[in-house]
Amino acid sequence: MSKILPWILLIALGLSASLHSQGDSSEASTEGQGATAAAPEKPSSEFAKLGELSSQLGIKDLWSKSKTAKDPEIKEAELKSQLRPLTKDEVKAELEAWQALVKLKATQRAEKESEVRQLEAGEARKQANSRVVELGTIIGNLADRMRIVIKAFRTVGGEVEGYEQYVNKVSSDGIPDIGASDNVFDIGAALYAWLVDPNGGIKWGLRILSFLAVLIAFKILAAFAAGLVRRAMGKVKKGSDLMRSFFVNTTRRLIFLIGLVIAVSQLGVDMTPVLAAIGATGFIVGFALQGTLSNFAAGLMILIYRPFDVGDAVDVAGVSGAVEKLTLVSTTIKSWDNKQIIVPNNSIWGNVITNITGNPVRRVDMVFGIGYSDDTEKAQKVLEEIIAAHPLVLKTPEPTIKLHELADSSVNFVVRPWAKTSDYWALYWDITRSVKERFDAEGLSIPFPQRDVHLFYENALPTPQAS
């Protein structure tokens, strides 16, 4: 927006200046001649006598040693190609030559701005303003090429901070300094002249259009790629919803981020230092957030290997309950007594994971005891009848009913029927009630833990005799 808002001001002031000039019919002919005179020269004429100017300004040595600055209008691609084989010292010489050219034009612009302030409103002032705009455009073009040389100098290990500060200070991509005049119509005319200059406003307009076009194209591409990933993930039957969502969103955001970097570069911004700063910042942030990143990595492993999903009953990291929510950092579990527990993914992945509802069928393990004096055959038959009669017990796998243990206080039978996972507790509670009722009806005891204590006396004391 900071780049677009000045454009709105440029158009408004330019139109205002245009309307103002059209309103004065008595000067129409003069203004027509002035418009012709005020038309900016082609930048190519600026450097026709560069050799003479370099001698006059004391930069002849810099200019004569340069291989690229002798042609200030060199194509950017050609400039990059010529800089590539140069050594560090040679690139530095090129950089100083380009800096001298920028300084030359910046000095000329400063002088012309001073001249504008001293002139009265009229044709001469209008021409001086147009020249300020023209010089600003030339400085912007030179600055673009100087930044290319700065980047090359940085690549070979040169210190570029001072050069970057200078070029950023004196260049404004050709945008005129409106402080050079206190007349709103002069300002409007100058801005309008910059706006229609092929190397000024039009160049920036094309850059902004290119920025928007790249951004829109990558937005569409990101949506299309995300749709492909969504359809591909939909064919993965064992994939969780969170995993699908993660890969779809990551694809969309990654492609759009790449598009944003490319789009910003269309504005002439050198993304190399920006990406380097992001990398350094990422390293620092990653070091500071080791625990969070560890949870993030564990969340990815949970997504990929899918030991459980939302809605499953699990026992993880000492917590038992139903999985309510799963993110890349933590897992939310609702305990059986309705408490919400948030467990870091690192604690889950680094410990044993028990998925209680991971399989559709479960075995119900129960133990029932009878007294040592009870009929074991009768007890076996009663238990088999109870299991066979219950509708929730599956026929396959077959249930197991065996005399299992001669315990301290009881003879124990293991009863292990199979049921659907959703019927586990209903079957467990029904069988327990049925066994108690049938054992009572059949006269089978359910012993409780007991201990007999026998006391033996040795060397008993004699019984006292009555006196």
pLDDT tens-digit readout, 83-129: 989 999 888 888 888 888 888 888 888 888 888 778 777 778 777 77
Phi, psi of 332, rounded to the nearest 5 degrees:
-100, 125
How far is the C-alpha of 447 from the C-alpha of 156, rounded, in Å? 90
How far is the C-alpha of 187 from the C-alpha of 176, rounded, in Å? 9
If you search the block for the tokens 């049938």, which residue do you land on?
Answer: 438
- Tens digit of pLDDT for each residue in 273-331? 777 777 777 777 767 667 778 888 888 888 888 888 888 999 999 999 999 988 888 99
The packing angle between helices 241-265 and 201-234, to 10°, is: 160
338 vs 134 pLDDT, higher one: 338
Most confident of 22-26, 110-114, 335-339: 335-339
How far is the C-alpha of 187 from the C-alpha of 338, rounded, in Å? 71
The pLDDT of residue 179 is above 60: no
Tell me the C-alpha to C-alpha distance, in Å, between residue 255 and each of 166, 219, 259, 303: 35, 8, 6, 22
Total Cβ atoms within 10 A of residue 433: 11
Give the bridge partners for 335, in sequence order: 321
The one-letter amino acid code at 331 reads: T
The pLDDT of residue 174 is above 80: no
CA dihedral 367, 371, 372, 378 (to 10 degrees): -80
The pLDDT of residue 250 is above 50: yes
